[in-house]
Structure formats: structure tokens, C-alpha cells
Structure 1
Amino acid sequence: MKDKKMSIKTSILWNTWGSLVYLGCQWLLSVLVIRISGFENSGILTLAMSITNMFYSIAVYGMRTFQVADTENEYAQGTYVISRIVTGGAAFILCTAFVAANRYDQVSGISIVIYMIFRLGEALFDVYAGFFQKYWRMDYLGKSMVIRGVAMLGSYTIFLGIFQCLPVAFGAMAVSTFLVILLYDRRHVKRITSIKFDGNFKKVQELLIRCFPLVVYLFLNAGISSIPRYFLEKFSGNDKLGVYAAIAAPTLVVQMASTYIFNPFVTAFAEKYHAGDRDGFWKLLFTCVKVVTAVSVVALAGAALLGKWGLLLLIGEKILPYTGLLLPLVVCTILTAFSWLLCGVLTVVKDFKGLIISNVAAVVSGSVASVIFIRLWGMQGTSFATILGLTVEIVLLFVFLQKRIGNSAALSRS
């Protein structure tokens, strides 16, 4: 017997709670690595995160929103799982090739590859999370994120503390992630829907082709923040990247919290768009914007008033010369939250052309700015380049969204 759907309010609360716990655990990875083994290993961790972000986008293929919005069940649930295995394999091969081409030192290279295996676990979870979200059982999703977060952080801390070796710690994280998926997520997904694969590989191919614009957009979107950090490591080394990451870690709460607030509304956006409810669509969007804005104001105020004290408490006196990096980084995360919101909405309305054009413009402008700004202003230039790229993206995304909703409204009246 399948489980019943939960209310939207209850689902959102569970999703928010689980997401915040998992986000907190991820944030502690960056804090603990400095406490346990210093800025150099922090730089390697940040490099691994930045590089794998690009290839993680290939693994998830931008399919989560498409999956949740597939209210007509055009594709079988097993088709989504098989497609994730295919994209995950491709992402791992490409990541490994990238590491080999860049000739990183042995520790950095192995760390990136093993961290990518951990990210593949997150990508596999993402498809199960899509099932939980689609059928409004985000209590399962929230509980899973709590379990995975605690298991990930615990295994990382124990193995890093004992062996003082990042690849070993990353390997422990990967094992714990896959175990939670196997023992918890699969079992609970089966309680709400069937995930058996029907053997139709043509449908898998068709799904991958249809979602290809999404993976292109997502890959580009990941590059907006990852490319400036890539150049920072190239120009200044792992130590500077580690310092930058240490300051950036607390600010991620803003963009991730905003994303978790938006994600449960994906189905509602899809329903209003397909029903031609233009006013309801815009009202829902502006509600999300107001929430993100409120979170942003609190974050800016908190960073201005308590940022220096908080960084000193978390990292120690060695971070004090760099606290000026904090406010621009908070602005980066706020803009990232707004860009993710608009990208998600454009995905719902299937304006893939607008997504790709906006993100190409952001990546190009941000990359050019990185080369110039980092040479001029060092670590601060990394934030300035990211801010420029995100601003370009947000403006273009909003223009494309207005055009798309206007056209859909005109069609619904005809």
C-alpha cells in the first residue's frame, strides 16, 4: 500500500529542516579542515568542491525540476534512475580526464577524483529526492538529509583526524552516502511509487536528449562561481584559495537556504503555468522573491554586525587579516540565490534557449573579469568577477521570463 501525500506546509517544513541540517554539515567540512589540518588542505577541499561542481552538474543533468514537473508521468520512474547512472558515469570519466589534463599534484588530483565519487552519491540521491518531492513526501527527504549529513560529517571528521589525509576522509564520506541511499532512500521510495525499469532504453535516450539543454545550462551555471575560484588557485595557489573558502563557507547558508525554500514550489509553478494562470504565477514568484530578499537582508546585517566576531570564533585569529572579504561574498551568495530562483522558474516554463543564453553571457563576462580582477585585487577580485557574471545573468533571465510568460498568456487567451 502506497503512503499518502502530506500537506504542502508539512512537506516544506520537513524539507527545510533536513536541508538546513545537511547544509550545516557541509559547511562544517570547510571549518573543520582548517582546524584539523590548516589552510593548504582547506584549499584542496575548495578546489575539489569547485572542480566537481562543474561535473556534478553533468551527473544530475538538470533533471530534478523536469522530473518533478512530469506530473503526467510521461517517463517511468525507473527511466529517471537509469538515466542518472548513465550521466553519473559520464561525469566521472570527464572529471578524471580534466584532472589528468591539468596535471595537479598527486594529493590534489586524487582528492578531486574521490570527492567526485562522493558527489555521484549526491547525484543519485537527487533522483530519489525528486520522487519524494513529486509525491509530497518530503518528510522522507528531510529525514534522509539529516541522516546523510550526520553520517558524512562524522565519517569525514573521524578519518581526517586519524589519518590526516583528505582522500581517505573523502572516501569515507562517499561510502556513508551510498549506504544511506541503499538502506534508507530506496526502501522509502518503494513505499510511494514503483521504480522498476521497464527495459525501454529508447525512453532513456529520449529523456537525455530532451534534458540536454538543461545540463548545458547547469554546467554553465556551475561555472559562474567555479571559474573565478579556478583562476584564483592558478594565480595564487591553494593557500589563498583556502583562505577565500574559509570566509565563503558561512555565506553559503544564504543561497542554499533560499534554494530549499524555492524547491518545494516547483510543482506549484508548473501547475499554474500549464493552467495559464499568469497572475497566480507572478504572485507565487514574487512571494519567493520576498522570502529570498528577507533572508538576504538578515544575512547582510548579520555579516556587518557579527561577521568578524563569528569568523574569529570559528577559525581563529589567523583569519582576521582577511575579514574584509566577507561582505562581497555575502553579496555573491545573495545574487546566486536569485539566479537559481529565476533559472528554476525558466526551467519550469521550458525556456531552455533563454537559460543557455543567460548563462553563456554570465560565464563569458565572469571569466574575462576573473583574469583582470584577480590580478588587480587578488582574492577580492574573485568576488567582484562573480558579482559581475551573476548580475548579467539575472538581468537576462528576467527579460526572458517576462517574454515567455507574456507569450503563454497571449496563447491561453486565443
Structure 2
Amino acid sequence: MSAPSTGKGHSQPSKRPAQLSVKANMLWNSLGSMTYLACQWLITIVVVRLSSGYEDAGLLSLAMSVVGIFGTFANYKMGTYQISDISRENTLGEYMGFRCLTLAGSFVACMAYAWLTCASYALITVALFYCFKAVGLIIDILHGEDQINRRMDYIGKSFMLQGVSTLAAFTVVYVLTQDLNIAIVAMLVAALGVLVLFDIPHCYRFTRVIVSLSAEKALFFLRTSLPAVIASVAASAIFTIPKQYLAVVSGDAALGIYASVAAPALVIQMGAQYLYGPLLDIFPRLFFEGDSKGFIKLLGKTVLGIIGVTVVCALILELIGGWALELLFGGSIVPYVYLLQPIILSTAATAFLWFFGDLLITLRHFWANFAGNITAFLAVVPLTFLCVNAWDMNGVSFAGAGACLLGVLMLLFFLVRSIRRGPGALERRDPSSSLEETVEKDAA
């Protein structure tokens, strides 16, 4: 697949850092990412423990959910695309320039959506949390360069710094002010510090950190990844829709309770992503080089790894989940421990939806990824009304899990077809080809 030429080529230092092994990269990425995830989770605990009720927790959860939809659009699936750019078609500056463009556009869309769907008092919280996430999305582009050069220790250390500094900043400011918005501003400042003081200097060891984007390359990115972006927005909305419906029918406190109980189970979803993320540049190499046995072997190990993470977490939470929730959130959360197991089911289903979708993108099956995620999105709308009305907070989990599993089945259909036919069937086809054309070629 070719891209418009815009003077590609990377300015690199004379001596590049030595690459790390796959295991070392996975270890660093996992340690750093899990540290960041734990710190973000602790922020939700801080809100509950240091406030007089669940209102701030519900407001923070709402901001996270809304920003999650448009943060996905801002990402424009450039992370997966960048690290699977094995032929180095585009420069870091072009990826960075396009990220800045999508961040600006998605902010406008995010605030318009928030104005239409959220209470007026939530708008400033949504805007501030978007700015905080925007810094992380800029850092992700630098992490893409780190991964391409197989130095994910830089990524792990960056995540550790981001997690610890943002947690500390949020906690101190929230204790002093009891103001959620000011605490989010403190997180934003801490994240900017990590970007400027750590990530930019380390990425500069591989190439110049600049912003450089032509109109031609911007249009190429827009056209190429559009199906994957729409699919990502749909995937992000799979749980946002039932959460927002829960807030409407049961109130912000119910949403805050659900988000608090759900936080520990997110380790399954994110742990799976940290497991397969370092492999997304290896899968396409194996596939396009015709090493089908190696590809299938790696695929099997990854699937078993995700299942293993799910089983271990389910057992641990079954044994100590109630005690842990009471310790973290206090006795008022104990009556809601029953929410845990359905949440585990839903997070595992989401993990597989993410994995198979990202894997199809690395194989340049953009429209197949689109079909799977849109299937899940269309399914969650009726499931939301059915499940939330029937099971209240548990309905969020049941609706999301059912929708994700339907999407996974669709993704598996395309993945199995691709494996059976091999890389020659793809012919590096133009990813802007229509869904109808792709389905006809793959299902023939």
C-alpha cells in the first residue's frame, strides 16, 4: 500500500540505542501500563473517599465516557497504523501533525456532543478532561516511534511517570480544594511535564520530534483510516450508551457506584491490550512474509494469554473482591459487590473485540474491522433498553458483553478467511475500497 510522498525519511542520531528483546519490551510495556492504569484507578477511589458522596465520581465517570468516544476519533487509529507501518511509509512528524489536526477537530465535536447530551455543569469537566487526555495522545505518537525501534522501556518508564505524577497532583489538589475541575487541571500540568522532560528527549534519540504535515498526506491519512476510526468510535460508545442511559434512569450516584465497582475489573481489558500491543508490529511481518504457522502460533498464544488474564482476575476478585471494595470505598459499596462478575464478563468480551479489531488493521483489513465494531454498536442500542430496564446497573454489563460478543464473531469470520487465503489474497488492496467490495473478495 503506497502513500503520497512528502519527502519521507527520518533524521536520526549517528548512534541509535540498541533494541530490546520481545520479552523485555513486553515486560516494560506491561509494568508501565499497569502502573498507569492502577494510578488512574486510584484517582476514582480518591474521588469517592475524599468526597461526601458519589456525585463527583459519577461526574468524572461521565467525563471519561464522553471523552472516550471523541478521544478515539482524535486517535484516528494512528497508533495501531503507525506501529504496523513496517515499510516506514510516513515520518514521525507526519504522524504528529495529523494527531494535532484530529485533536483539534475532535475537541469541537466532543463539546458539541456534551452540550447536547450532558447537564450544563458537566461541560467544563468534560473539556478539562479532554485536554488531559490530549496530552496522553500526543505522547502516544512518540511511544509509537519507541516501539518501532524496539525500545519499549522508554514507554514503560513514561507510563510510570505519568501515572504517579498525575495521581499525586490530583490527590493533593483535590484534598486542598475539593474541586474536581481544579484537580483535573493539576493532572494536565503533570502530564505536560512528562511529555516535555522525558518523552521528547528520549524519542529524539531516534529521530527529530517535529510537526510536519502536508494537505496531501493529511487526506491520505483521513481516507485510509476512516473505516477504522468509525469502528473505534462505535466501539467506544458500546458502554457509553448503557452508562448514560443508567444515569438518566437511576441518577449520577448509580453511575458512580457502577464505575467504582467496575474499576478493578478494567485490569482485564487493559491487561489484554498491554499483552498484545507489543506484538502488533510482529503479526503483520509474519503474515506478509508468508509465515502462516508462526502467525497462527503467536495468535494462539495471545488468545490464551487473554483468557488466562481473565480467569486469574475472575478468581481473585471472587475471593477478595468484596473485601477489597470495602477497604477501598468503605462499607457503603458492599451491597453492590454482586456487580463484579458480570463486569468481568463484559471487560473480557471488550478485550477480544479490541484485539481482533486491531489485528485486522495491522493486516490492512480496515473494512473488516469496521464491520465487526459496527455490528457490536448496532446491537448495544436495543440491548441497553432491554438489559438496563431489566437488571439496572448489571444491565450495563450484560448489554455491553452481548454486543461485544456479536462483534467478535464478525471479526473472527474475516480473520479466519484471511488466514486461510494468505497474504496474497489481500494484495495490499486500497483500504478505501468499499465494504461491499471487501466482503465480496473475502467471502468468495
Smaller-chain TM-score bracket:
over 0.9
Could you tell me whether the CA contact under 8 Å between 2:418 and 2:425 is conserved in 1? no
Structure 1 range deviating more: 19-28 or 223-232: 223-232
Q: Which amino acid in the other structure matches residue 80 of structure 1?
A: Y
Aligned to 1:79: 94
Q: 1:68 aligns with which of 63, 83, 88?
A: 83
Q: 2:348 aligns with which of 328, 334, 345?
A: 334
Aligned to 1:348: 362
Could you tell me whether the CA contact under 8 Å between 1:276 and 1:412 is conserved in 2? no
Deviation of 1:257 (Å): 0.9
Q: Which amino acid in the other structure matches residue 360 of structure 2?
A: L
Task: Please identify which structure carries the higher helix content.
Answer: 1
Report SS of the residue matched to 2:255. helix
Could you tell me whether the CA contact under 8 Å between 2:17 and 2:205 is conserved in 1? yes
Is 1:27 the counterpart of 2:35 in the alignment? no
Q: Distance in 2 between matches of 1:411 and 1:363?
A: 28
TM-score by structure 1 length? Answer: 0.96
Note closer, same or farther for the CA distance 1:198–1:383 as it changes in structure 2 (3 Å cut).
Answer: closer
Deviation of 1:139 (Å): 0.8
Could you tell me whether the CA contact under 8 Å between 1:63 and 1:214 is conserved in 2? no
Q: Distance in 2 between matches of 1:28 and 1:198?
A: 37
Q: 1:93 aligns with which of 85, 104, 108?
A: 108
Could you tell me whether the CA contact under 8 Å between 1:62 and 1:215 is conserved in 2? yes
Q: Distance in 1 between matches of 2:377 and 2:161?
A: 35
Aligned to 2:6: none
Aligned to 2:160: 146
Note closer, same or farther for the CA distance 1:412–1:344 as it changes in structure 2 (3 Å cut).
Answer: closer
Deviation of 1:186 (Å): 0.9
Deviation of 1:25 (Å): 0.3
Q: 1:366 aligns with which of 350, 358, 380?
A: 380
Q: 1:282 aligns with which of 284, 287, 296?
A: 296
Q: Which amino acid in the other structure matches residue 181 of structure 1?
A: L
Aligned to 2:324: 310
Q: 1:178 aligns with which of 186, 192, 211?
A: 192
Q: 1:53 aligns with which of 61, 68, 76?
A: 68
Is 1:248 the counterpart of 2:248 in the alignment? no
Report SS of the residue matched to 1:140. helix
Could you tell me whether the CA contact under 8 Å between 1:160 and 1:166 is conserved in 2? yes
Aligned to 1:226: 240
Structure 1 range deviating more: 209-218 or 130-139: 209-218
Aligned to 2:18: 4
Note closer, same or farther for the CA distance 1:253–1:202 as it changes in structure 2 (3 Å cut).
Answer: same
Deviation of 1:105 (Å): 3.3
Could you tell me whether the CA contact under 8 Å between 1:57 and 1:222 is conserved in 2? yes
Could you tell me whether the CA contact under 8 Å between 2:97 and 2:213 is conserved in 1? no
TM-score by structure 2 length? Answer: 0.90
How big is each residue's C-alpha offset from its partner over 1:96-153, in whole Å with a ceiling of 9 and x where there is no partner? Answer: 11122225131x2211111111111111111111111111011111111101111110
Report SS of the residue matched to 2:206. coil
Q: Distance in 2 between matches of 1:373 and 1:228?
A: 9
How big is each residue's C-alpha offset from its partner over 1:152-202, in whole Å with a ceiling of 9 and x where there is no partner? Answer: 101111111111111111111112112211221111101012334555332
Is 1:214 the counterpart of 2:228 in the alignment? yes
Q: Distance in 2 between matches of 1:232 and 1:123?
A: 29
Note closer, same or farther for the CA distance 1:411–1:217 as it changes in structure 2 (3 Å cut).
Answer: closer
Aligned to 1:204: 218
How big is each residue's C-alpha offset from its partner over 1:240-279, in whole Å with a ceiling of 9 and x where there is no partner? Answer: 0000001001100111111101100011101011112222
Is 1:388 the counterpart of 2:396 in the alignment? no
Q: Distance in 1 between matches of 2:390 and 2:383?
A: 10
Aligned to 1:158: 172
Note closer, same or farther for the CA distance 1:65–1:24 as it changes in structure 2 (3 Å cut).
Answer: same
Note closer, same or farther for the CA distance 1:313–1:205 as it changes in structure 2 (3 Å cut).
Answer: same
Aligned to 1:124: 138
Q: Which amino acid in the other structure matches residue 73 of structure 2?
A: I
Is 1:291 the counterpart of 2:269 in the alignment? no
Q: Which amino acid in the other structure matches residue 103 of structure 2?
A: G
Report SS of the residue matched to 1:211. helix
Aligned to 2:9: none
Could you tell me whether the CA contact under 8 Å between 1:40 and 1:239 is conserved in 2? yes
Q: Distance in 1 between matches of 2:387 and 2:62?
A: 19
Note closer, same or farther for the CA distance 1:383–1:103 as it changes in structure 2 (3 Å cut).
Answer: closer
Structure 1 range deviating more: 119-128 or 94-103: 94-103
Report SS of the residue matched to 1:380. helix
Q: Distance in 2 between matches of 1:182 and 1:58?
A: 24
Is 1:267 the counterpart of 2:281 in the alignment? yes
Aligned to 1:112: 126
May I ask how many residue pairs the two structures share in their alignment? 412
Report SS of the residue matched to 1:194. coil
Q: Which amino acid in the other structure matches residue 43 of structure 1?
A: G
Note closer, same or farther for the CA distance 1:70–1:103 as it changes in structure 2 (3 Å cut).
Answer: closer
Structure 1 range deviating more: 73-82 or 202-211: 202-211
Q: Distance in 2 between matches of 1:370 and 1:100?
A: 22
Q: Distance in 1 between matches of 2:207 and 2:25?
A: 17
Q: Distance in 2 between matches of 1:158 and 1:344?
A: 37
Q: Distance in 1 between matches of 2:42 and 2:323?
A: 17
How big is each residue's C-alpha offset from its partner over 1:36-75, in whole Å with a ceiling of 9 and x where there is no partner? Answer: 1131111001101111110110111111111011121111
Q: Distance in 2 between matches of 1:105 and 1:200?
A: 38
Percent identity over the alignment? 33
Could you tell me whether the CA contact under 8 Å between 1:80 and 1:204 is conserved in 2? no
Note closer, same or farther for the CA distance 1:274–1:236 as it changes in structure 2 (3 Å cut).
Answer: same
Could you tell me whether the CA contact under 8 Å between 1:54 and 1:223 is conserved in 2? yes
Any gaps of 5 or more consecutive residues in structure 1?
none
Moved over 4 A (4+): 409-413
Report SS of the residue matched to 2:280. helix
Deviation of 1:236 (Å): 1.4
Could you tell me whether the CA contact under 8 Å between 1:248 and 1:329 is conserved in 2? yes
